[in-house]
Chains A and B, each alone.
Chain A
Amino acid sequence: MNKIHVNTEVNGDDVEFLCDTRETLLDALRDRLNLTGAKEGCGTGDCGACSITLDDRLVCSCLVLGVEAEGKSIGTVEGIANGEDLHPLQQKFIEYAALQCGICTPGILVATEALLKKNPDPTETEVRYWLAGNLCRCTGYDKIIRAVMDTARDLREAS
């Protein structure tokens, strides 16, 4: 087994881990760094449950090798809230019942946070297409889309 030492930054903290070259960044986050917020729903980039940001770019962590994280900056669902203050998206998801089982929720929150940073005023269609890679089997997406649209509106009004 040829393990490689990786130095990277997760949610603002410097971390390091050893990983096999075949391990995905998702495996490294979960098994090496105990960050289990990102989930493996498919392992092939089709479901979005493992969404993270890599140098501020939204990606599936199952499609990134652990060794590729060297020197990068990673954002996961665990870094969205600020201490005990939830991000407005997190608040709204609870308030709107925008989750049922909750397995897709971490990925959807990471993805929508990235969307609102890039586009604070998305249309419903833009939200739906942005989230097309985040499968949700419970909700039919209705309440998720409403939560995202209304959070975006609140954030615009607040700024």
Chain B
Amino acid sequence: MEYHKPGSFEEATTIANNNNGIIRFLAGGTDVLVQLRSDILTPDVLIDIKHIEGVKDISYDDDGWHIGIAVSGAEMSEHEQLAKEWPGVVEAMDLIGSTQVQGRATLVGNLCNGSPAADGVPSLISARAQVTVTGPNGTRMVNVEDIPIGPGKTSLSKGELVSALHLPKRTKNQADAYLRFIPRTEMDIAVVGCAVNLEIENDLIINARVSLGAVAPTALLLETAAKKIIGSKLDDRALNQLSQEASKACKPIDDKRGTIRFRTHVAGVLAKRTAKIAYDRARAER
């Protein structure tokens, strides 16, 4: 395994583009090293992207938030303003693994690993997050939901890597939340994950995005479900419709972590619970 420590994204791209075999980028390493130790996958070329300028920064400007690709979960949780504006995104990241894993794991790594159960992804989708992708032909902006295309697969082509993560600017009366279901209290992979991002006006929901994880090959954006709560004050009727739509949207599998029946049912339960938290947060923002 070759190990590289490029100083810029351009250099990283060039190394990735000029090599053959299995190429992996190393940020937090919490997926790459597990695969290495478990003999699931040994890269031929490993490109450590933590030494590129700016990758550890969290910044804010007129376009919103910009999160460096090597920012760890712990660093996100410790950023008070980010945690205040995007509690759902931050808590989703915070749920990944242990305190130790939080010291290393990154949100972009979580996205690019391509796991259907990734905790970080539904919250990013519901947040309308985008990423900058750098490749041999320059950079492009991509919506987060367009990155994963199937279990372990992304839409990134040879030589490309994500070079920054962007979250929209927040206005008042907006809030998000993320809940996942796991059998224990910690340390498990989500059996179902649900993110809800809301905007309210006079207690009325005027914008909503709902996303589910671990119930399909990639995280889902539930447009129909979101419509069921837009225009409501999240009354029981709206919640029940949201729940039904969430369950209906599921295309899960039976596996060691859960059954189709279980995942479908719990997706509905989580959708309700998550929406309530997001709604309460949005109201508290006033």
A-side interface residues toward B, CB under 8 Å?
A: 2, 4, 21-22, 24, 43-46, 48, 51, 54, 57-60, 62-65, 67-68, 111, 114-115, 129-134
Complex interface: chain A residues within 8 A of B103 (CB): 54, 57-59
| Complex Cα–Cα for A3 and B1 (A) | 10
Please indicate which of the listed interface residues A51, A63, A114, A115 has the most CB atoms of chain B within 10 Å of its own CB. A63
| Complex Cα–Cα for A68 and B103 (A) | 14
A133 touches B97 (CB 8 A): yes
Which residue from A21, A62, A68, A133 sits with its C-beta under 8 Å from B99? Answer: A133
Complex interface: chain A residues within 8 A of B34 (CB): 44-45, 63
Tell me, yes or no, whether B42 is within 8 Å of chain A by CB: yes
| Complex Cα–Cα for A132 and B46 (A) | 30
| Complex Cα–Cα for A44 and B38 (A) | 8
Tell me, yes or no, whether B30 is within 8 Å of chain A by CB: yes
Task: Contacts A46-B187, A133-B101 known; list 7 others, CB within 8 Å.
Answer: A21-B46, A44-B34, A45-B98, A51-B100, A129-B186, A133-B99, A133-B187
How many A-B pairs with Cβ below 8 Å? Answer: 90
A132 touches B185 (CB 8 A): yes
Nearest CB of chain B from residue A124's CB, rounded to whole Å: 13
B3 touches A65 (CB 8 A): yes
Q: A2-B2, A63-B101, A132-B99 are in contact. Are A45 and B30 (CB under 8 A)?
A: yes
| Complex Cα–Cα for A129 and B185 (A) | 9
Tell me, yes or no, whether B233 is within 8 Å of chain A by CB: no
| Complex Cα–Cα for A51 and B46 (A) | 24
Which size bracket describes the interface of B in this complex? Answer: 20 to 34
Complex interface: chain A residues within 8 A of B37 (CB): 24, 43-44, 62
Nearest CB of chain A from residue B22's CB, rounded to whole Å: 13
A59 touches B33 (CB 8 A): no
A45 touches B100 (CB 8 A): yes
A-B contact pairs, 25 of them (CB 8 A): A21-B1, A24-B33, A43-B38, A44-B37, A45-B100, A46-B98, A57-B72, A58-B99, A60-B98, A62-B33, A63-B30, A63-B34, A63-B104, A64-B29, A65-B26, A65-B29, A65-B46, A67-B3, A68-B26, A129-B186, A130-B99, A132-B187, A133-B99, A133-B101, A134-B98
Nearest CB of chain A from residue B188's CB, rounded to whole Å: 10
Q: A57-B103, A58-B99, A133-B101 are in contact. Are A63 and B29 (CB under 8 A)?
A: yes
Nearest CB of chain A from residue B184's CB, rounded to whole Å: 8
A64 touches B104 (CB 8 A): yes
Complex interface: chain B residues within 8 A of A51 (CB): 100
Complex interface: chain B residues within 8 A of A57 (CB): 72, 74, 103-104
Tell me, yes or no, whether B260 is within 8 Å of chain A by CB: no
Complex interface: chain B residues within 8 A of A58 (CB): 99-100, 103
Tell me, yes or no, whether B91 is within 8 Å of chain A by CB: no
| Complex Cα–Cα for A59 and B100 (A) | 4
Contact with A along B39-65 (1 / 0, CB 8 A): 000100010101000000000000000
| Complex Cα–Cα for A117 and B50 (A) | 26
Nearest CB of chain B from residue A120's CB, rounded to whole Å: 16
A60 touches B3 (CB 8 A): no
| Nearest 6 pairs of A and B residues by beta carbon | A133-B98, A132-B186, A21-B3, A57-B103, A59-B103, A43-B37
Chain A residue at minimum C-beta to C-beta distance from B42: A22
A132 touches B98 (CB 8 A): yes
B187 touches A22 (CB 8 A): no
Please indicate which of the listed interface residues B3, B38, B97, B100 has the most CB atoms of chain A within 10 Å of its own CB. B100
| Complex Cα–Cα for A21 and B2 (A) | 7
Interface residues of B in 87-118 (CB under 8 A from A): 97-101, 103-104
Complex interface: chain A residues within 8 A of B2 (CB): 2, 21
Interface residues of B in 193-219 (CB under 8 A from A): none
Tell me, yes or no, whether B36 is within 8 Å of chain A by CB: yes
| Complex Cα–Cα for A44 and B32 (A) | 10
A60 touches B100 (CB 8 A): yes
| Complex Cα–Cα for A131 and B186 (A) | 10
B33 touches A65 (CB 8 A): yes
| Complex Cα–Cα for A154 and B100 (A) | 25
Q: A45-B98, A58-B99, A130-B99 are in contact. Are A64 and B33 (CB under 8 A)?
A: yes
